[in-house]
A and B are shown apart, each in its own frame.
Chain A
Amino acid sequence: MRNINNLLAIASRSEFQQQEVTGKVTDIQTGETMPGVNVVVKGTNVGAITDGSGRYSINVADKNAVLVFSFIGYGIKEVPFAGKSIIDVVLERQVTGLEEVVVVGYGTQKKANLTGSLSSVNIESFQAKAVGQNLSAAFIGEASGVTVRQSTSSPGNDDAEIRIRGNGTFSSAGSSPLVLVDGIQQDMNNVNMNDIQSISILKDASSAAIYGTRAANGVILIETKRGKSGKMEVSLNSYVGFQRITEKPDFVDSWEYAESTNEALHNMGLGPQYTDEDIQLFKSGTSPDTHPNSNSFETFYSSGNPIQYKTDLAFSGGNENTTFRFSLGYNKNNSLVARAYAEDINFRLNVDSKLLENLYLKLNISGNRGFHTNPTSVKNGQWGFDPLIKTAYWYPVTLAEKNSDGTYNHYQGANVQADLDGKGYMSYWLDNIFVDPAIVWNILPELKITGEVSLTTNYNKNKFFKPKFTFSPSFSTSYAELQQQYSDNNLLTLRTIAEYSKTFNKVHEFRVLAGFEEEDFSTGNIHAYRNIFPNNSLFELNAASTENMTNSGNASEWAMQSYFGRINYVFNRKYLVEINSRYDGSSRFPKNNRWGFFPSGSLGWRISEEEFMNSLTSIDNLKLRASYGILGNSQISNYPYQRTINLGQDYPIGDVLAPGAATTVLPNELITWEKTSVLDIGLDFTLFDSKIDGSIDYFDKVTSDILYSISSSDILGLTPSEQNAGEVNNKGWDFNLSYQDKKGDFSYRISSNFSVIKNKVVSLAQVEKDIAKGLFVGESLGALYGYVWDGWFVDDADIQSYAPQPFVAQPGLPRFKDISGPDGIPDGVVDATYDQKVIGSTFPKYTFATTISASYKKFYISMLWQGSAGVHRYLRGMIGSAFHNWGPVQRWQYEGRWTEDNPDRYAVYPRFENSLKSIPVGMLSTFWARDASFLKLKNLEIGYNLPSTIANKLGLGNVRIYASGTNLLNFDKFPKGWDAEEEYGDWYWGVHYPLLSTTVFGVNIDF
């Protein structure tokens, strides 16, 4: 190291005398100064950015230097230094982004030369949208073919699910895209949004194939910002946000609930629970202890103070040899619920240093400590936030939460008020450390070698504690309990890449890349439990009794080796060829099936560059491209091919727990890669001086050899491992279109994307359908399967004259259609085998988003509308069913139910019964499979840029103040209180912490 330091000292001393250049950058059309313009001394790392008044200052060390000015959406301008001390330039708005450079796998590429289907995210609008929400959720509406769904705003668990061009597979390998942050696989939520420089979404085989076996679901590349030399830039971003619940279910009052209960009991052949006197008392409200009108939902969701804060501070600067960017961020997100919040502290240091004339060091270090906590139920043995959420919906309106004497009631041991007062908690600490040094060696001007080592380590600690809680003198929980868990994940990545680029005879541009990469991952955890504490204020393991203590732990590993390469060839700026391939070996597969080869190729034709197009001046750019390739998916369990015997199958023998072992999994010794081939044909166009910009893509994506645990008969007695046994096809169209214009001080942009995806299961192992997993050949993934509802039975005569049902038919119960029989024709009887069919799909066929933004002088406004159609979801659990495990009744059910006095064939709800029994009211049918199309005003932002004259007086650069809101309006066909977009997955309860609307007020200041 000493040598290098000396060397740097020598290098700087040996430099030529420097000269400062200053100047101003203005827009040629408007004449306004342009802040944020990049100024770089060509061929060096020396750079600067114009300040709020469009001014810059840069040190030039070479007489022959050339200054390069660039700004997104504007043409790049190169100005020779020629010894001048003031250089003012004007920039011209240009054909959108053609000269823009986008990040591709293991490198960058000029957008004009792209042949694959890649969406480059507009970072400014993305960051504006990310305000106040989880980073993954900001992908909503960002690009065609990218479906994003966020189901909860629960702090710490508010990740959105991202799908690129449909669900490619139904295996455990999953449909989540690969996310690489600065080239290393990471959780995107560990990245502070203000640190992001660029995001690329690779959608087709051509662009993603270089990531081989993990690219089948597409790839998201996130690059973080790097430093620029020159005056140190400091920027501050800060906001405060307020959350509110948008959808509240409307539960009936206690007297209505009591009446309904009696009605349901009567319908089930049981005696009533409430007398007329009871119902009167509920109504009068005179006995709040015995006859209350409780509302646990309000108790729960109004206990917190849902404010969020975020502050980020970034410094960037350096000299011509070393540049850096350092950022610090902090955010806290309180929830609607008391004692539930998430916070995160993060930092990132990116350093670029020139070690020698042709040798560079690139160092990325980042880390964050995430913490989130929530109250847990005081009930012994029951952990988690979900039980509280459940109770908030489920606790009877007819039972007081707390009596006037201060004692608590409980419903089967549950009471949200007690849980909140009980101070039991579940806390999670997540520490992530990421260190990634790379050495870049420019052996020749055309040849560059990069060697990189990166270490990603996550340490997780969970601590769950619940006190002994006294509900009343006669009822308390048995003891205090503590669970603690430690785990760590370690990923080591070693990578060497060689790149060669050269242009021959001015028309043959070649770029070649070859690389080798290894990854080694290990994880392990330790878990301990004790109970019976001396009091509620001690909660460390040693404070508890050893009597019931338990511990456990496990570990696993995987590793990969990969060779990959890419060749780009451009002829005469018109004809583009790209070939990508990767050869991957994974420890998850047996030796003889371990390696997989994943090639792809693509072609592009820049039609607009042809001479015959010269006359068509309205066409700025027109490019036709096509690609085909094969990708893989291997995100499965770590040892699927190994025949193993599970330990821990213990059983008491002689009153001692004797160790036992058993085979519980049937391994698949022939397991191999899941393969996805993608054909993509696309057309890019830019028209009328860049006013119109768009692209159309057709894709046909076939995933075969899907790793899939086929539903096996219970007679097998074992859990079968995944087999390579299925094929899924996603076919569709992606459309992107934007229009922008400017009239004086007013400019606006409308940008829309629209996707149509036809998802289809092509084949399953040896079967035509796997009902348990919702898989049917010829149908979409996530198919809903059930009976065809034909109203409710109205009376006994109706029952007699209608086909017999697969349950004891009674008036007010469903009438299912006889649609088939053993001979393929209706047989007069409705039964499970012949009269159920696919009645909908949970995967949306159409998704669309439109962003409308406008600016007038210093003001701007932007909004995002987003929606999907051609999708169904079941109303399940407490969402759809009244009396779900004697749970709540919603007003729409109460008011629209079938009764003997209202024997409506198509009443909005069947007769009341406890529907926990799946039969017959809850039997899945077209009645419960609802159209889940929706349209949302997902985001609205208004902002104001302080005039530079004022800002400068305050000693500031750019100052922007803004207000932003998410989830503002929602149009769907679901009952009040429920959002059609959300996945109410839990069959049993079906409720979770809702998606909230957030309103944020913030400021960005550049010093």
Chain B
Amino acid sequence: MIFNYTIMEKEIKKYIQWVIVSLMIIFNSSCVELDKDALDVLSTGSFWQNESDAKLALVGVYKSTGTDFWSSTNAIRMDAATDNAYSKDFNGWDDALSLEMTPENVILSSVWSAGYKKIAKCNNFLENIGNAEMDENKKREMIAEVRFIRAYQYFWLTNFFGDIPLVTNILDFNTANHVTRDPKTTIISFLYKELSESAVDLPTTRIASEKGRVNRGAALAMKGRLQMSEKKWSEAATTFKTIIDMGVFMIDPNYQNIFLEAGEKSNEIILAAQYLPTDYSWSQKGVLPSQYGGGYGTIKVVEDLVGAYLMKDGKAKESSPLYNPNQPFINRDPRLYYSIFLPGFTKFQGKTYQAHPDSTGGDQDRVPINSSSGYYAKKFIDESLGAITNYGGDIVLIRYAEVLLNYLESKIEAGNTIDQNLLDLTINQLRLRASVSMPIVTETNPGLLRDIVRRERRIELAFEGPLRIWDLMRWRIAHEKLVGKFYGMKITNDPSNYTKFEVNENGNVFVVNRIGMDPDINYLWPIPQSERDINGNLTQNSGY
């Protein structure tokens, strides 16, 4: 028996040892592949071949880079930098035009960064689109779109920062860290060329399935804005007239709707940043007062703006018999009701909006707690949805009403004769909007009309991105307007005997004291310190 076992053991031993040897060989025969490709991204080698690639890339260019001027992020909020509102919030715009602006300001660097990110995407597209084999007309149109998007970013960047690096091709990182600033004049000439040329290749209208893509009107409108910034008034007037003569845009009878999801397809909208519920959305919650679903009420509106809205008779509240200081919100320009939450007056989601200093309820604004003024922005807010974080309403960037006001301002500043026809073509179209129906303007004296138009712009365009800042800068009145005490809602009818909080002579509560600005310095923003830390070639604007 022992003998047999031994033989068997020997055989098995041999067998197992062969198994082992083969296993070792298998281990050694590299079954592991060291060439691993990324699994959920495309590789450049196979991209830029055809029209569908070009389209993917085009959409990628449109996608927001965050805090640029083509997004919801800065809509409404930028008015905190103006005499319309304030925020006193982290990342607030409050210091944008003030002595408190410093190169470390985070708004500043985020705007710069998002703008240049978008520009880099455009440059990348323009450098590669040549490789795609596709219909030449379509290609030309896409190129024009991307050139416009790039010009749009440069327009705002140079407006705020002055001289900036003009980058029109893809950089490597060493070059990017050593660029220098180009004079603003160079940027401006570049923009003229880009906007003029892209206007030619862009279609005048977009079919429904192309909604959101740039059209010719947008390119011309930006060109006109540029001419206004440069005070080339006659040229600006011509540009705006071209848009008017295209006949594709018109004033929407429903003012409120233009800023809501329901009115997104309005013919008044020339260009809007596109949003969709959930998939590509923004948060209404940040804007709403806390009474409605716990909104954060980040943008607090001041009495200075509320008071600027005319009375129903077309007169300022100071001179109109319709004004009742105890019921200040009745008989006002309806645009006030569409644009601002008015305490004790605005009905929203079936509840009257409430704010007062003696409020006890946790949800009602207790003015001036949390720096509340009692007024909040309401434009762009969809009442039917409330404090949601996944709102899909578009953000209007350029609309026809502004084009008409731009045209009128350019005509005034160009020294052209103003007649009733011109007024009826422009400002009175806004006044006669069905949902507004304010008395028409008949003033043709340019000096007097200028003030009317400026007030109309402030009312009509409140909270629409950078427009109020742009106006204050263009007119060079920011240093006069943005200084001293600002007030919120009226909290007492007996201001002289009221001691609880500081109030003005009308009983409006004191909310914020603006430190003011140095006109020789603060009309330009400083180059962000974070950029100068990296790139020693970037010089600083004077005074910072």
**Interface, chain A (partner B; CB < 8 A):** 3-4, 6-7, 10, 14, 265, 268-275, 277, 289-290, 355-356, 359, 379-381, 399-400, 403, 407, 409-410, 412-413, 439, 441, 449, 451, 453, 471-472, 474-478, 494-496, 516, 518-520, 547-548, 550, 554-561, 585-587, 591, 594, 638-639, 642-647, 649-663, 666, 710-718, 720, 766-767, 769-772, 806-808, 832-833, 885-886, 914, 916-919, 923
Q: Is the CB of A713 within 8 A of B179?
A: yes
Closest B residue, CB atoms, query A585? B34
In the assembled complex, B431 has its CB within 8 A of some CB on chain A: no
In the assembled complex, B325 has its CB within 8 A of some CB on chain A: no
Q: Is the CB of A666 within 8 A of B173?
A: yes
If A439-B23, A712-B173, A919-B104 are given as contacts, then 18 extra A-B residue pairs at C-beta distance below 8 Å, sorted by A number, are A3-B12, A4-B16, A269-B514, A381-B390, A412-B294, A478-B387, A548-B390, A559-B36, A585-B34, A654-B207, A654-B212, A660-B56, A717-B119, A717-B121, A770-B534, A808-B100, A832-B533, A923-B104
Q: Is the CB of B369 within 8 A of A273?
A: yes
Centre residue among A271, A380, A585 by max chain B CB count within 10 A:
A271
A559–B53 CA distance with the chains assembled, in angstroms: 31
Q: Which residues of B contact A807 (CB under 8 A)?
A: 100, 102
In the assembled complex, B60 has its CB within 8 A of some CB on chain A: yes
Closest B residue, CB atoms, query A712? B173
Which B338-384 residues have C-beta < 8 A from chain A?
Answer: 351, 360-363, 368-371
A720 to chain B, nearest CB (A): 5
Q: Which residues of A contact B277 (CB under 8 A)?
A: 548
Q: Which residues of B contact A642 (CB under 8 A)?
A: 37-38, 43
Closest B residue, CB atoms, query A665? B41
In the assembled complex, B120 has its CB within 8 A of some CB on chain A: yes
B100 to chain A, nearest CB (A): 6
The answer to whether A666 and B172 touch (CB under 8 A), given A269-B512, A639-B37, is: yes
Q: Is the CB of A918 within 8 A of B104?
A: yes
Q: Is the CB of B529 within 8 A of A832?
A: yes
Which B1-45 residues have C-beta < 8 A from chain A?
Answer: 2, 5, 8-9, 12-13, 15-17, 20, 23-24, 27-28, 30-45
Q: Which residues of B contact A646 (CB under 8 A)?
A: 41-42
A40–B109 CA distance with the chains assembled, in angstroms: 71
**Interface, chain B (partner A; CB < 8 A):** 2, 5, 8-9, 12-13, 15-17, 20, 23-24, 27-28, 30-45, 47, 53, 55-64, 88, 90, 92, 95, 99-100, 102-106, 109, 112-113, 116-121, 123-124, 165, 167, 171-174, 176-177, 179, 207-213, 264, 274-280, 283, 285, 290-291, 293-294, 296, 351, 360-363, 368-371, 386-390, 500-502, 509-515, 529-535
* 16 sample A-B contacts, Cβ–Cβ < 8 Å, listed by A number: A3-B16, A7-B12, A273-B371, A410-B290, A412-B290, A441-B17, A477-B294, A495-B27, A555-B39, A644-B43, A655-B274, A666-B173, A713-B179, A832-B104, A833-B529, A919-B100
Q: Is the CB of B210 within 8 A of A475?
A: no
Q: Is the CB of B293 within 8 A of A475?
A: yes
Q: Is the CB of B500 within 8 A of A275?
A: yes
Closest 4 CB pairs of A and B: A717-B120, A660-B59, A269-B513, A662-B60
Partner of B116, one of A478, A661, A714: A714
Q: Is the CB of B44 within 8 A of A645?
A: yes
A621–B109 CA distance with the chains assembled, in angstroms: 63
Q: Which residues of B contact A289 (CB under 8 A)?
A: 360
A558–B514 CA distance with the chains assembled, in angstroms: 57
Partner of A661, one of B57, B88, B283, B530: B57
Q: Which residues of B contact A663 (CB under 8 A)?
A: 44, 124
Q: Which residues of B contact A555 (CB under 8 A)?
A: 39-40
Q: Which residues of B contact A712 (CB under 8 A)?
A: 173, 176-177, 534
B123 to chain A, nearest CB (A): 8
The answer to whether A10 and B24 touch (CB under 8 A), given A654-B209, A661-B56, is: no
Q: Is the CB of A638 within 8 A of B388?
A: no
Partner of A496, one of B28, B33, B88, B361: B28
A493 to chain B, nearest CB (A): 10
Q: Is the CB of B2 within 8 A of A14?
A: yes
Partner of B62, one of A399, A560, A643, A651: A651
A655 to chain B, nearest CB (A): 6
Q: Is the CB of A270 within 8 A of B212?
A: no
A590 to chain B, nearest CB (A): 10
A522–B17 CA distance with the chains assembled, in angstroms: 33
Q: Which residues of A contact B47 (CB under 8 A)?
A: 645, 661
Q: Is the CB of B63 within 8 A of A713?
A: no
Q: Which residues of A contact B502 (CB under 8 A)?
A: 271-272
Partner of A359, one of B16, B100, B123: B16
A612–B533 CA distance with the chains assembled, in angstroms: 63
Closest B residue, CB atoms, query A914? B88
Partner of B510, one of A271, A410, A476, A918: A271
Q: Is the CB of A494 within 8 A of B211?
A: no
Q: Is the CB of B100 within 8 A of A412?
A: no
Q: Is the CB of A661 within 8 A of B16?
A: no
A881 to chain B, nearest CB (A): 12
Q: Which residues of B contact A355 (CB under 8 A)?
A: 16
A647–B52 CA distance with the chains assembled, in angstroms: 13
The answer to whether A643 and B43 touch (CB under 8 A), given A273-B369, A833-B529, is: yes
Q: Is the CB of A559 within 8 A of B32?
A: yes
Q: Is the CB of A718 within 8 A of B120?
A: yes
A371–B488 CA distance with the chains assembled, in angstroms: 52
A647–B212 CA distance with the chains assembled, in angstroms: 20
A320 to chain B, nearest CB (A): 17
Q: Is the CB of B117 within 8 A of A516?
A: no
A927–B179 CA distance with the chains assembled, in angstroms: 35
Q: Is the CB of B280 within 8 A of A918?
A: no
Q: Is the CB of B534 within 8 A of A662?
A: no
A471–B99 CA distance with the chains assembled, in angstroms: 42
Partner of B60, one of A290, A381, A660: A660
The answer to whether A275 and B501 touch (CB under 8 A), given A662-B57, A833-B529, is: yes
Q: Which residues of B contact A560 (CB under 8 A)?
A: 32, 34
Partner of A653, one of B210, B363, B515, B535: B210
A607–B295 CA distance with the chains assembled, in angstroms: 77
Q: Which residues of B contact A653 (CB under 8 A)?
A: 59, 62, 209-213, 274
The answer to whether A650 and B280 touch (CB under 8 A), given A269-B515, A559-B33, A660-B63, is: yes
A479–B363 CA distance with the chains assembled, in angstroms: 19
A769–B530 CA distance with the chains assembled, in angstroms: 12
A190–B43 CA distance with the chains assembled, in angstroms: 37
Closest A residue, CB atoms, query B56? A661
Q: Is the CB of B173 within 8 A of A710?
A: yes
Q: Is the CB of A271 within 8 A of B515?
A: no
Q: Is the CB of B28 within 8 A of A516?
A: yes
Closest A residue, CB atoms, query B177? A713
Q: Is the CB of A10 within 8 A of B293?
A: no
A274–B176 CA distance with the chains assembled, in angstroms: 51
The answer to whether A413 and B363 touch (CB under 8 A), given A653-B211, A658-B59, is: no
A947–B413 CA distance with the chains assembled, in angstroms: 104
A133–B235 CA distance with the chains assembled, in angstroms: 75
Centre residue among A6, A10, A807 by max chain B CB count within 10 A:
A10
A517–B282 CA distance with the chains assembled, in angstroms: 51
A714–B386 CA distance with the chains assembled, in angstroms: 36
Partner of B534, one of A399, A638, A660, A711: A711
A269–B24 CA distance with the chains assembled, in angstroms: 79
Q: Is the CB of A772 within 8 A of B124?
A: no
Q: Is the CB of A654 within 8 A of B208?
A: yes
A381–B95 CA distance with the chains assembled, in angstroms: 30
Q: Which residues of B contact A720 (CB under 8 A)?
A: 173
Partner of B59, one of A520, A558, A650: A650
Q: Is the CB of A655 within 8 A of B276?
A: yes
Closest A residue, CB atoms, query B533? A771
Q: Which residues of A contact B500 (CB under 8 A)?
A: 275, 277
Closest B residue, CB atoms, query A496? B27
Partner of A410, one of B5, B99, B102, B362: B362
Partner of A772, one of B9, B59, B370, B533: B533
Q: Is the CB of B34 within 8 A of A559?
A: yes
